[in-house]
Amino acid sequence: MPEFVLASASPRRKELLGYLIKEFTVSPTDSDESLSEGIKAEKAVELLSKRKAEACAKKHPHAVVIGCDTVVELDGQILGKPSNELDARRMLSMLSGKTHHVYTGVCIIFQNLAHTFHVCTSVTFVSLTDEQISAYLATGEPFDKAGAYGIQGYGCTLVSGIHGCYYNVMGLPVAKLGEQLKNLGIL
């Protein structure tokens, strides 16, 4: 069994990867997160996950490196992590009562080759009042998550429906990753 390295500091990704791979190292990296104007969400997450995986693979050249990135997309606009409370409020107001898409890109680097894919899940929010948004912001949960919410925490109260992979919304499409690792002969 090869050495596995997760190029992410996300505790959610670490937990989810643990269901698929029992032993792995966590090695988050700093990489360029800039995006060109007008880039599509699916291309953005693939590009960002590849940058993270490549940066990590330089430190772990003999390992299977898994890099990930998640964004929320609404009406062609990419919503990453909010920069502050006002930005989080803006994002939650935008998502209120609407269906948006959550994209997670995953890049697997194995034997110096990068294998990249993405998964998309549709999520519908309830119509939120200003009081509901303020209460959710007070939890502190929105500030390190794409689209300013986490479906697995208090954010579950914001969601009225989901179509697709729930774990993708948490940041790691576990079943698809397992399928890809098997297809590559790694698992």
Q: Which residues are catalytic?
A: 69
Find where tokens 């330089």 sit: 58
Q: How far apart are CA 11 and CA 23, in angstroms?
A: 15
Find where tokens 């576990």 sit: 174
Task: Mention every residue, 6+ apart, whose C-beta is less than 8 A from residue 113.
Answer: none
What Rg, from alpha-carbon coordinates, does the chain have? 16
Q: Which of 171, 178, 134, 151 is nearest to 48 (CA)?
A: 171
- Please calculate the CA angle 113-29-156 and round it to the nearest 5 degrees: 100
Q: How far apart are CA 34 and CA 133, in angstroms?
A: 28
Helix or strand run (H / E) with residue 161: strand 159-163
